[in-house]
Structure 1
Amino acid sequence: MILVTGATGNVGRHAIRLLLDNGNQVAAVTRNAPAADLPLEAHVVVADPSAPQSLATSLDGVDAILLSPRAVADAGAELLSLAVEHGVTRVVVLSATTVEHPAGQERFAAHFKAVEDAAKASGLQWTFLRCSDFAANALGWAPQIRSTGIVRGAYGDAATSPIHERDIAAVAVKALTDTAHAGRHYLLTGPQSLTQRDKVRLIGLAIGRELTFQEVSPEQVRQSMLAQGVPEDVPERLLGSLADFAKQAGPSTDMVDRLLGRPALTFAEWAAEHADAFRS
């Protein structure tokens, strides 16, 4: 049995589907089962990963855990200790490139590093997937694109190599099911360095509409996001990283190609798959 935290997230959903298709048993952790819309074949665990004791009875029979640091908040070490007590042998951590390529506020990278350190100290076999920004983050632009065709944002020239969530999930499944990946940390990025302006242009090509990126101040972006009810740490995380990526592009690797034996999916492919989200 493989237990997936962050089961309703971009990576978690794809990982669950891939694991099930490969014949693995999956325990999918969610705080809200009725709203989760998880596959019928998955064993749904209603629990809060940030309160590990709520998972205690569900860890029996679990061999490996896909661990989302955002899902566990500050309880990573406690959850991993509990996992060891229940006979879990392996953990795959969804980490971030900022652990080894600093960008943005240090406290955000420090959170991922703390979970990595807890995994190393736990005695479990561990694998760290240090991911670049998710292509799916661009879905935050969808309301603007649908209504006006203009994305108002800061640091339009900030460049990263966005990664398709399906590629992260595919690598995670390999690490969860093959001990050859134990003790490894992988820097996972998309295949192409793109500015924010580039990503907006590629979304426009996918939907057959000319789109525009309009530069505004970081404070305007912050206030707009807060007005939409976004938690305060989200614009702080985003804007801090973008400010640094505007000075120096984020890392780009071919690790996905090497691990999966095929080319990494491009942002253009991601945009084509999600075109309906951007159409008015």
Structure 2
Amino acid sequence: MTTLITGARGKVAQGVLARLHSAGHRVRAASARPAELTVPAGVAAVELALDRPETFAAALDGVRQVFLYPEPSGIRALIRAAEAAGVEHVVLLSSSSVLGPDAATDPLARHSLQVEHALAASSLTCTFLRPDAFASNSFGWAHPIGRAMPVQLAYPDAHTAPIHPEDIADIAFEALTGDFLKGRSLTLSGPESLTFRAQLAALSAAIGREVPVERISREAAEQQMSAFMPAPMAGSLLDLWAAASHGPAAVADTTETLLGRPARTYAQWAAENAPAFTGH
């Protein structure tokens, strides 16, 4: 049985691919730009572009499972092609944001929600992984920390329960290779609620020097963030963090509750990725 990994340049997808390949499963890596992929020896890299349906058949040939990134463009055509190719199971890397009351209009949630709805209407068995904040979101602080500048935040006391990307890959691997998680919708988080200040303290410990935090206005934060993302998405994130400043974040399922293995901590992620924050 071959498993197709879409979005194979992503960190979680790479982790899933590596686990499947190491365990002896047949796996195929897909990307709109397959020449840019780095894959293990013996793994085929194929083109899969959602705006080019002519790429679907070759990518899906012989595939029975798909690890899918949530891109709504062309998703219904891809699902039809998957059904025609004999695909049986899809594991979707969705988002916990789809559970919000305004998910259908929320810029953070609607892409994942549209893909979930399309899959739910199909004949495929679907497993939805809905992680909360990724620990790797902290890479957004690498520029100021690496230059010994303060990290500017409108809501430094906002709580999240950041999940290590390798934990997501572990859970996805289990969903693709066993029956216990298949067909379920799983909200995932890290093992503890941490404010942004606490996360920055963990990064400070990892790099061996203090990371100063500077509170700025919401307006200033929105202006900064809008240089890197659409303004509505920046506004939605700031709304989320404002609400998250009122108390601890909920801890959802982890590798501990699902797999019986300790969840990786944010401090572990910080230690593993310290070089990205040292300016070297």
The TM-score with structure 2 as length reference comes to 0.90
What percent of counterpart residues are identical?
38
Matched-pair contact (CA < 8 Å) for 2:189–2:252: yes
- Whether 1:244 aligns to 2:243 is yes
Count how many residue pairs are aligned between Structure 1 and Structure 2. Answer: 277
The aligned residue for residue 163 of structure 2 is 163
The aligned residue for residue 196 of structure 2 is 196
Q: Which amino acid aligns with 1:256?
A: T
Q: Which amino acid aligns with 2:12?
A: V
Once the two structures are superposed, residues 238-265 of structure 1 have per-residue CA deviations (whole angstroms, 9 ceiling, x without a partner) of 3232222224543212442122221110
The aligned residue for residue 78 of structure 1 is 77
CA separation of 1:8/1:102 partners in 2, compared to 1, >3 Å: closer, same or farther?
farther
**CA apart distance, 1:222:** 3.0
Matched-pair contact (CA < 8 Å) for 1:132–1:189: yes
The aligned residue for residue 176 of structure 1 is 176
The aligned residue for residue 49 of structure 1 is 50
The aligned residue for residue 7 of structure 1 is 8
Unaligned runs of 5+ residues in structure 2 are: none
**Bigger mean CA offset, 247-256 vs 265-274:** 247-256
Matched-pair contact (CA < 8 Å) for 2:134–2:164: yes
Once the two structures are superposed, residues 55-75 of structure 1 have per-residue CA deviations (whole angstroms, 9 ceiling, x without a partner) of 222101111111111xx2333
Matched-pair contact (CA < 8 Å) for 1:29–1:46: yes
In 1, Cα distance between equivalents of 2:263 and 2:51: 32
In 1, Cα distance between equivalents of 2:53 and 2:266: 36
Once the two structures are superposed, residues 2-25 of structure 1 have per-residue CA deviations (whole angstroms, 9 ceiling, x without a partner) of 111121112111111111111112
Once the two structures are superposed, residues 115-148 of structure 1 have per-residue CA deviations (whole angstroms, 9 ceiling, x without a partner) of 1122121111111111111100100110110012
Report the 3-state secondary structure (helix = DSSP H, G, I; strand = E; otherwise coil) of the residue aligned with 2:213: strand
Instruction: Considering fraction of residues, name the structure with more helix.
Output: 1
Report the 3-state secondary structure (helix = DSSP H, G, I; strand = E; otherwise coil) of the residue aligned with 2:66: strand
Matched-pair contact (CA < 8 Å) for 2:176–2:182: no
Report the 3-state secondary structure (helix = DSSP H, G, I; strand = E; otherwise coil) of the residue aligned with 2:142: helix
How large is the RMSD of aligned CA atoms in angstroms?
2.1
Matched-pair contact (CA < 8 Å) for 2:88–2:124: yes
CA separation of 1:237/1:26 partners in 2, compared to 1, >3 Å: closer, same or farther?
farther
The aligned residue for residue 277 of structure 2 is 278
The aligned residue for residue 106 of structure 1 is 106
In 2, Cα distance between equivalents of 1:145 and 1:50: 38
Matched-pair contact (CA < 8 Å) for 2:93–2:130: yes
Matched-pair contact (CA < 8 Å) for 2:95–2:109: yes
In 2, Cα distance between equivalents of 1:125 and 1:185: 11
In 1, Cα distance between equivalents of 2:178 and 2:211: 43
Report the 3-state secondary structure (helix = DSSP H, G, I; strand = E; otherwise coil) of the residue aligned with 1:122: coil
**CA apart distance, 1:279:** 0.8
Matched-pair contact (CA < 8 Å) for 1:88–1:124: yes
